[in-house]
């Protein structure tokens, strides 16, 4: 089955760190750009970061630049998001998504909730 499964969410204190994982299966993970997108409770979708297939390009939203790091292990079919210096406004459901068509995300995980307590 073609799917993405996120894990690693939880409750963390402000200033703390968390690493999210996204396990891919059913497709050739190593050939796709991958993205992280987040959604605060009751709010809209916000693009967070992206990484290309061979890890030569990473981009970030200004709100997370310098605090979050996207990475991937193509041998393990896994995408990561290392989140440091977490703030209350980072509280959100974090989705990983595949860019299976040009500049669009055609496959999404179910999301993992990150809660940052003050």
Enumerate binding residues for another protein (CB under 8 A).
Answer: 35, 37, 44-47, 50, 59-63, 95, 101-106, 108-111
**Shortest gap between Cβ of 53 and another protein (angstroms)?**
17
State the Cα–Cα distance between residues 106 and 118, nearest whole angstrom. 35
State which residue, 14 or 67, has the beta carbon closest to another protein: 67
Cβ atoms of residues 83 and 114 within 8 Å: yes
State which residue, 75 or 103, has the beta carbon closest to another protein: 103
What is the C-alpha end-to-end distance of the chain, expressed in Å?
A: 39
State the Cα–Cα distance between residues 79 and 88, nearest whole angstrom. 24
Length of the chain: 118
State which residue, 14 or 46, has the beta carbon closest to another protein: 46
Copy the structure tokens of residue 50.
């992206």
**Shortest gap between Cβ of 109 and another protein (angstroms)?**
7
**Shortest gap between Cβ of 14 and another protein (angstroms)?**
23
State which residue, 40 or 88, has the beta carbon closest to another protein: 40
**Shortest gap between Cβ of 104 and another protein (angstroms)?**
4
Kindly report the backbone phi and psi dihedral angles of residue 31, in degrees, each rounded to the nearest multiple of 5, phi listed first. -100, 0
């Amino acid at each position: 089955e073609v799917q993405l499964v996120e894990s690693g969410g939880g409750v963390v204190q402000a200033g703390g760190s968390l690493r999210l994982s996204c396990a891919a299966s059913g497709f050739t993970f190593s050939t796709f750009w991958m993205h992280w997108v987040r959604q605060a409770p009751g709010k809209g979708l916000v693009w967070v970061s992206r990484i290309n297939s061979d890890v030569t390009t990473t981009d970030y939203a200004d709100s997370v630049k310098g605090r979050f790091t996207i990475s991937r292990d193509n041998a393990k079919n896994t995408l990561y998001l290392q989140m440091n210096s977490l703030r209350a406004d980072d509280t959100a459901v974090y989705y990983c998504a595949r860019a299976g068509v040009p500049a669009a995300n055609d496959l999404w995980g179910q999301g993992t909730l990150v809660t940052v307590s003050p």
